[in-house]
Each structure stands twice: as C-alpha cells, then as structure tokens.
Chains A and B, each alone.
Chain A
Amino acid sequence: MTTTIPPIPTDLQDERLRADTGMGGAIRAGIDRIRGGDLGFLPVIAGLAIIWTIFQILNPYFLSSGNLTNLLMESAPVGVIALGIVFVLLVGEIDLSVGSVSGLAAAIMAINFIDNRWPLPLAIAAAVGVAVLIGFAYGFIYNRIGVPSFVITLSGLLGFLGLQLFVLGPKGTINLPFDSPLVHFGQLAFVPQWLAYALVALAAAAVLVGGLLRARIRRNAGLSAPALSLTLIRAGLLAALLTFAVWYLYQARGVGWMVVFFVALVLLANYALTRTSWGRSLFAVGGNREAARRSGIRITAVYTTAFIACTTLAAVGGLLAAGRLASAAQSSGGGDVNLNAIAAAVIGGTSLFGGRGSAFAALLGILVIQSISSGLTLLNLDSSIRYMVTGAVVLIAVSLDAVARRSRSSHGRA
C-alpha cells in the first residue's frame, strides 16, 4: 500500500523475528498464540456457543429476545461481584465471603432506607462504606497477622452472614417499594432504543479512533503499528455485532441500564488493570511477589486495595441484586451467589494461581453461568441438576486452564 519503503520499526529489527504484518500476519500470530497455549477468551466464547446451541435445540424459547433480555439483567448483579473476584484472584488470593458481604450490604441499605428512613444515596453509601471497611480489615489481617486469605474470608463468609441476619432482625425480610429508584434501576430502567444505537456507535468510534491514535503515536516513536485495515475491521466487527445484538434485544424490552452499568464497570476495571501502574502492580504481585517487593512496590497496599476492590464490588452487586428482587432478605447473597461469582471469574479465564486474568473474564464468565442457569430453568430442571452442571462446567474450565498452562510453559509463554 505504501509507495516509499519505510524504515524498519525499532521493535522488528531482530532478524529472528518473523514479520507479522497486515491481515495475514495478524491471523498467523493469532494461531501461534493459541497453539502456544495462550487461549485468551477462545474457550469461554466457544463454550458459550456450545451451551447456547444445546439449549436452543432443547428449548426454542432460549435464544428469544425476551429470554436474552432477562438473562442479561440476571447477569449484572453477580457479574459485578465476579468482577471484584478478578481483582483478588489476580494477586493470587481468594475471597470466599463475597456472597455474605453482598447480602450484608443489601441488609444495611434496606434497614437504613426503609426502617431508619435515610435518603437512598446515604443508605447506599453506608452499605458500600461498610464493605470498604471489611476489605480494609481483610487486608490488615492478611498483611499484619499473615492469615491466609482463604481462612480470613471463610470466617468472613460465616461472620458477615451472621451480621446480615442480625441487621435484618426478627423480620428477616425487608421489602423495597417498587417506586424507589433502586428497584426501578434493577427491574424497569431500560435504555431507549435510539440511545442504545448511539452507545454502539460511540463504542465503535472509540475503538476506531483509539486504534488510529495509538497507531500514529507508535509510528511516530519508530515502533511497529497494526495496519489500518486491521483497526477498521475490528471497529466494523464490533459495530456489526453490537448493532445486531441491540436490534435483536429490542424485539423485547431491550438493554437494561443495569446491564450498561455492569459493562461500564467492566470497562473501567479493564482500564485500571491494563493502563495504570496500580493494575500493573496487581499482576506483578500475582506473578512474583518477591520481585514486586524488590521493585519498590508496596505489596501490602496492593493486597489491601485488591481486597477493598473485591468487597466494594461485592456490595455493589448485592445492592443491584436487592433492587432486582425488590427486597433484602436473609437469603440475599446466600445459596450459590458466592460460588457463581468465583466460578464466573475462573470460567472467564482468570487463573486461580494469580497473575493472569482480565476484567472481561467476569463478563464472559457470568454469561456462561447465567446461560446454564436460565437454560436449565427453562427445561424445568430443578436446582439439583443446575448445581451439578455448573460444577462440571467449572471443572472443565479449570482443567482447560491447567492444560493451557502446561502448553504455555512448554512454549515459553508464562
């Protein structure tokens, strides 16, 4: 395409490097990555496709606009909790108490909002504030006393469940009025169709402009940059996919604000993880704690902030769930919320061993979990089957991670 032969970019001058330029190069590099065990999101997307196909065959209502709309709304609360789990998994720790913390947050919000007649924002702030304190306490106990996070959060699982019951008192359930903004947000607030299309256009434009700008900065610095065609194709594909999704979902009620909120949180978390030094330090601590310490990173602060991020997002997820159910009950955050959140992060490709993962893991993982749940519900299979199937899927996902890790180490890709 170019008329003059440009100088070889700084990062491609080694003669051992195969020059992967243009479209063919991108595809070749992608195949190489997969063979090297760097599967990325391929397994979870493939898994999602298989699950959707099977359930669609078993029940033709499964892929209908109405069900998918519901599925997305159901995904948001636990998805937000799963997003928090990604942070602690990245530093190689675990939080088993997210379910209890989400339930506790719902209880605190409800008791203050309904019984104490606080304004809703204040009630929400109180709930989130308690979650921040819990995360801080986890970090303190972990750093100063050296209790493994598994044990700390297992105690938290029990302790905060107890506190949730205590806060709720003998009533056990507090209903939220249907006209409250939180319930409206959790059940009824849908993005107007034109705005949904506008958001799609915005997303595609952001990918395109961002890609072009980055390419120009890299080229000016004498580094290689992805071809223009590649950026165009990425933006185009994204636009086509999202436009189709929006069109299909608006056959029914469309896209809820809660879903948009969840996706926005995922994007924000992705930025924090990949483009800030804090995110970098999470990966570093998860990869090699000692190396991170010697690099001058304050690893105690990294652990504490990871725990705080997790408990805070758990509380936010709990509040969304309360809005969705229009109540805070003794069972809020109980049952399978805990394990679904952790399973979603792991299914999405976040390693349980630290140092590998992505914010998008929560998004894709929760879609898998909720698809299984929704599909089995449509088949009138009760929760016994659902637990077993979800358990099997988690096992498959972790096995895939283990196999991929072996392949990565033999191909030298950490």
Chain B
Amino acid sequence: MNATTATDTAAAPDGARPNLHTVLSLRGISKSFGAVAALTDIDLDVSSSEVVAIVGDNGAGKSTLVKVLSGVHAPDSGTIDFGGERVTLPTPMAALERGIATVFQDLALCDNLDVVQNLFLGRERRPFQLDEVGMEVRAWELLRQLSAKIPSVRIPIASLSGGQRQTVAIARSLLGDPKLIILDEPTAALGVAQTAEVLNLVERLRERGHGVILISHNMEDVKAVADRVVVLRLGRNNGEFRVGDVTTEEIISAITGATDNAVSRRRSRGDTASPTTHTITTEDAER
C-alpha cells in the first residue's frame, strides 16, 4: 500500500498533468465510538489530479472517514499529512481553510435562494453592501470552467434538476480553491444522463489538478472515473486496486469480505475474468 502516482492509470483524459504530488496521506487512522471501532488503522493516499474511489458496504467506515477528513470527527490515533504538512483538522472550518472541501450527500443547498446566493452563502463579498455583480460574474466563471449546464444563476435552486444541484454544490466547494475535494455519493439520487454529467464533472476536477475522493456504491461509476479503488470493510483497509487491472467482481468480493477466497482462487488459477475486462475497455472507448 504505497503512495501511488497516478501517471500510469488508464484514465488520462488530456495527458498533461503538471506537478503530480501526494496531496493527502493518512497513516494508521483509528476512530472509535464507545466500544465500536469505526475505523481501525486506515491508510490512504491521494495525489493531485487523481480520483480515488472509496467503496465499502454499509458500516464499512466510509462516512466516518469522510467526517475525519472534513473535520467533523477527530481521529483517536494516526496521522494526517496534507500538502506535505502534518495537520490536525479539529473543525469543519479548519479543514476548509486547509483546502479540503467536502460535498455531502444531501448537498446542503437552500431551495429558496438562487444559484449565486447559494454559491457564496456564508462568504458573501462585502457583507454590508453585497457585491451582487461581482459574485454573479464569479459564479458564471466557475460554472463555465466546469462546463456546467445551468441556464441562469438567478433562478432558485428548487427549479434545478438533481444533476444541476450537484453541480452547484461541487462548484461551491471549488470557491475556496481546495486541493482535495471529497464527494459523498454524488450520483446516488441521479438519473442516467445526470449521472453522466456529474461523472464528466469529476473528470474535469481531475483535469484541473484537484485530488478527488469519491465515495460511491455504484461500481460502474467507480470504474468509469476513478484511478484507484480503496476498499473498506468493517473499518479496515481491505484492498486497494488500480481501476485498469481489477474486475467489478474482485472489488465486490473485497467489499463483501470474500476477498481472500476470490483472490487466492484467482491467483492460483492465474487467469482473469475476461468478460468484465471487456466491459472496461468499452467504457474507456466511450470516454
């Protein structure tokens, strides 16, 4: 489980990736809630321009890990190196100021406010005489960078589709120019087309040099955009795969805990499951 550079991964959309470096490096993170060990000895590395998917069953510790990274929970033990520095993340604000932005599953947008108001909520420019024009211009810049398909930034969030809302939430996380963006189940409630849009967005984040942690249950999404897959099971690391050379079955067996059997069987047989490999190549070709 070494720090992995992303240069050799299958999904390199533009090839040009300047200054690849490890953004986040977790070592031996543990967190208990009373008698329950939610995380035990977790290691995780994310480098810039890399999408790392964290998968796992319910109760695997994904949410706890996200909360540790976003400053909601402090870990009981272990170290967090961020941007080459050893850091602690005591509060959500501290994480945000360090450059870790989290987009939670429920997005946390205000339906009654418009896109600009939501983007700048809590960090409006000129608090006593709001700079509406400046904020609107910046909102358009941000949405253009993400090639977001939002017709107007002066309509309430309520009138946007699920994918568009996700886009707004992601755009909001980009305002502070974070180094690492954590997306918690970004496609969970979305339709086919909207899922595709969000996945495009994730790739654009990678192109722009952000490190991305993607929490997902959806193996197709994970295989479509992630460079590496980190599997958690019962609060422990249970395998780390490069997306190019792993099958969905292998990931699933790692998630469900059958990994030892499956992996050992596979190794002993010395072959791979060809049908799934085939699917990956078609997906890659589509991209």
| Pair A295/B137 contact, Cβ less than 8 Å | no
* B127 CB-CB contact with A under 8 Å: yes
CA distance A39 to B152 in the complex (A): 20
Taken together as a complex, chains A and B put the C-alpha atoms of A218 and B154 apart, in Å, by 14
Residue from B92, B106, B121 within 8 A of A280 (CB atoms): B121
Given A294-B108, A356-B112, 12 additional A-B pairs, CB 8 A = A10-B137, A17-B151, A276-B129, A277-B128, A281-B122, A283-B112, A283-B117, A287-B112, A288-B112, A296-B92, A297-B121, A414-B158
Q: Give the Cβ gap from A217 to chain B, nearest Cβ, in Å.
A: 5
Structural contact, A297 and B122, CB atoms closer than 8 A: yes
Q: Which residues of A contact B (CB under 8 A)?
A: 10-11, 14, 16-17, 214, 217-218, 221-223, 275-278, 280-281, 283-284, 286-288, 290-292, 294-297, 355-356, 408-409, 411-414
> Which residue of B122, B130, B153 has the most chain A CB atoms within 10 A of its CB atom?
B122
Chief secondary structure at chain B's binding surface = loop
For the complex formed, measure the closest distance between the CB of B158 and the CB atoms of chain A, giving whole angstroms.
3
The answer to whether A11 touches B154, judged by C-beta atoms less than 8 angstroms apart, is: yes
B159 at the interface (CB under 8 A from A): yes
Instruction: Check B245 for interface membership: any CB of A closer than 8 A.
Output: no
Residues of A within 8 A of B134 (CB): 221
- Distance A17 CA – B159 CA, assembled complex (angstroms): 14
A-B contact pairs, 6 of them (CB 8 A): A223-B133, A278-B127, A288-B109, A288-B110, A291-B110, A297-B121
Contact call B130/A276, Cβ cutoff below 8 A:
yes
Query: B250 an interface residue at 8 Å Cβ cutoff?
Result: no
State the CA gap A412–B161 with chains docked (Å): 9
- Interface 1/0 per residue, B106-140 and A, CB below 8 Å: 11111111000100011110011110011011001
Nearest Cβ in chain A — how far from B244, in angstroms?
A: 36
Residues on the A chain within 8 Å of B109, using CB: 288, 291
Nearest-Cβ distance from residue A401 to partner chain B, whole angstroms: 14
Interface core residue of B111, B112, B152, B153 (most chain A CB under 10 Å)? B112
- B residues within 8 A CB of A409? 158
| Cβ–Cβ contact A413 & B156, under 8 A | yes
Cβ–Cβ < 8 Å partners of A408 in chain B: 158
Interface residue count on the B side (C-beta < 8 Å): 38
B residues whose Cβ falls under 8 Å from a Cβ of A? 92-93, 96, 104, 106-113, 117, 121-124, 127-130, 133-134, 136-137, 140, 149-160
Contacts of A287 in B (CB 8 A): 110-113
Chain A residue numbers with a CB within 8 Å of B111 are 287-288, 355, 414
Nearest residue in A to B137 (C-beta to C-beta)?
Answer: A221
Min CB distance B55 to A, Å, is 25
Contacts of B151 in A (CB 8 A): 14, 16-17
Complex interface: chain B residues within 8 A of A218 (CB) = 133
Give chain A residues whose Cβ lies under 8 Å from the Cβ of B108: 288, 290-291, 294-295
Residues on A with C-beta less than 8 A from B157 are 414
In the bound complex, how far is the Cα of B123 from the Cα of A356, in angstroms? Answer: 21
| Nearest opposing residue in chain A for B161, CB measure | A412
Check A10–B122 contact: CB distance below 8 A: no
CB contacts (< 8 Å) of B123 on chain A: these are 295-296
A214 to B122, CA, bound (A): 24
Q: Which residues of B contact A297 (CB under 8 A)?
A: 121-122
**B29 to A: closest C-beta gap in Å:** 23
Q: Which B residue's beta carbon lies closest to that of A354? A: B112
Q: Is the CB of A11 within 8 A of B136?
A: yes
Question: What are the residues of chain B within 8 A of A222 when measuring CB–CB?
Answer: 137
A291 to chain B, nearest CB (A): 4
Q: Give Cα distance in the complex from A411 to B160, angstroms.
A: 11
